[in-house]
Each structure stands twice: as structure tokens, then as C-alpha cells.
Structure 1
């Protein structure tokens, strides 16, 4: 199966009606949002994965995403809104303590990243973090300089 045959198969399965009579070899831009076409339950998605090597395994990886987001997707459809992405419900297990635990795990991962980059200054800043706190919202403009700049500078 050629890339264009596969693209036509996906186009038909998703009901996209794309113009695939083109010379482009890289068709990824034509399929932006493809997986949303199979919302809310992922019905028909097997057409996308069937021809692929490891297609069954790949399909098995995405199906839980449909399951978790299905209810909120249906609610959006009921309001004549098409979600632009998968929106699973907020997980109630993430209370303040759970969020603090995730934040500290993130700091540990950033330390590994800083070591990988060989960024001693960034690592030193991260090593100064001993605790975290949870707040409702934050404006990054309030945190100019220092650690915020280091984190966003290293990642972008």
C-alpha cells in the first residue's frame, strides 16, 4: 500500500473529503485533527491502524484516551460544539497533596534534564527547591527572572 493509498483509506474512513490528488509526499498537514473524527468512542479507528505494522498495539494505546474523554465529548456534541482535542474529566485523586507530589516529581525530572544538558547553573537552582505549594492560578509575568526563566529557557 502506498502513502497515497493509505491516505485515501483514512480520508474515506474519517469522512474528511480531502483533495489527495496532489504531488505532496508529506501529507501530515492534511490529517491534522484526524483522531477527533472518531470521537467520542473511537468507532472506525481500526481502519487507520489495520494496515500498519504494530497497528493493533498502536490502536490499543489510543483507545483508553477515547474512553476517558467520551462523556465530556458527548456533552460537547450535545451543545453543538466539536472539541478541538481530547478533554478528559479532572481526576479527583489529584488533591493538593497529589499535586505537590507531582510537582516534586517534575523537579526531580528537571534535575535529570539539567544534568543531561550539563547545565550546572540550572541544576543549582533546582537543588534549592525544597518544597512546593499549590495555588489556584499563576501569571508567569509575576515570576520573571530566576528559576522561571531557567525552566522555560532550558525547555524552549
Structure 2
């Protein structure tokens, strides 16, 4: 049995799958649901895994952000949802969005994506709106271009080797969010490239239940949940 097969067998057992079929990385979809609401057992999941000392704390941040409101009736949400976000002051919300977009602009510059750089330089005006983030953006919207650029930028980088990289499906299905997955795995990329912690501002927005959308005029609305924003 290879090292990867042994790890998949261990993760299969920790997930409570007692079937005879061996796991492949695709079976990790939804894997982290098994450790809700508080992430108990993650230390065993990542035992001996390169980068675990930084990856595990980041995952635990996600569990802490979504623990409140967890259903204990045997049902569960398909994704980790922030149901009781910590209040986010409006100036801080603006700061986080601008910080995130600055990281994205740096990625666009590395890739030579002048179209996106032009949308982000100078930095757009940002207004805070109380309410849910509209979803989804259209294929021609700036958000879709950002999604493309972030994916292309990450594909350029070579992380240090770790079995955690094989958990990408499980990490994506935490919230159906590639940026969240990139945030968790970023310790394996540290030191590659020149952008420091490119997904930290995005994660801070996410854990506060906030999101953003560009307006047709090129400004940005940052959406904060009702009752979760303060002046």
C-alpha cells in the first residue's frame, strides 16, 4: 500500500466509512462535515501531514465561525455557513474589501491581466450595504474575471509537497469556495511569489458573513448581514 493509499484508508476510517471499497481523493468531498461543529478529531486527520501545524489552525477558524447554529437533530447543512457572524464595523468591512482587491490586483499584475488591473487601479469606491450578497455574478462581471485570475495565479505557483494538497476536493466542499480552500492551504505556498497572505482579507470577510459585488459603474458594494454591522 502506498503512502497515499494508507492516508486515504485512515481518512476513510475517521469518516466512519466501513465499506470494502478503497477511497480515492474524490471520496473526500464532504469529508470535513464529519468533524462538525467544533473540529474535534482534526489533529488525528492531519497527524504526520506536512504543514499540519498551520493548516489545522486555519481549519479550526472555519469551525469556530460556523459552530453556532449547528443543527443537532441529525440533519446538517450541505456547506459550512456562518449563521451568527461577529459584528463587523463598516470601516473595517471597507478596509477588508479594499485589502482583498489589492491582493487580486497584484495577482493580475503578475499575470499581465491589464483588463483587471484597470478595474482595480485606482481602487474603486466602496459602500456598505446591509443584506445578503447577490448571487451569482454574471459571466461578464468583474467578479468572474477575478475568479479566473485567482485560479490562474495559483496554478503558476509550486507549493511544497504535502498530502494536504490531495484534500482539495474536501476543502472545496467545505463551502463551495475556492478562495477559502486557498486560504487553508496557503501555508504550503508561503515563500513562493511576492504576495503575502493573499487570501487573509477574503477569509476575514467570509467569517463575518460578508461579501461584495461590483456595480455596473465600477464601484463596489460590501454586503454585511442584518444585525452584524456597526457604524
Given the two structures, how large is their TM-score scaled by the length of structure 1? 0.69
Question: CA deviation digits over 1:5-55, x for unaligned, max 9?
Answer: 322222222212344348xxxx11112111111112222333322243454
Give ranges in structure 2 of 5+ residues lacking alignment: 149-231
Q: Match for residue 155 of structure 1?
A: 147
After superposition, where does 1:23-34 map in structure 2 within 5 Å?
27-34=24-31
CA RMSD of aligned residues (A): 3.0
Shift of the 118–70 alpha-carbon distance from structure 1 to 2, 3 Å rule, reads same
Match 1:35 to one of 32, 36, 56:
32
Question: Which is bigger in relative contact order (C-alpha 8 A, separation at least 6)?
Answer: 2
Written as runs of structure 1 = structure 2, the 5 A alignment for 1:112-151 is: 112-135=106-129, 136=131, 137-138=133-134, 140=137, 148-149=141-142, 151=143
Contact persistence 2:35–2:41 (CA under 8 A): yes
**How many pairs are equivalent?**
143
Q: Which has the larger radius of gyration?
A: 1
- Look up the SS of the partner of 1:100 in the other structure: helix
Equivalent of residue 70 in structure 1, options 54, 67, 70? 67
- Map of 1:91 onto structure 2: 86
Over 3 Å counting, the alpha-carbon distance change for 1:4 and 1:85 in structure 2 is same
Equivalent in the alignment of 2:42: 45
Any unmatched runs of 5+ in structure 1? Answer: none
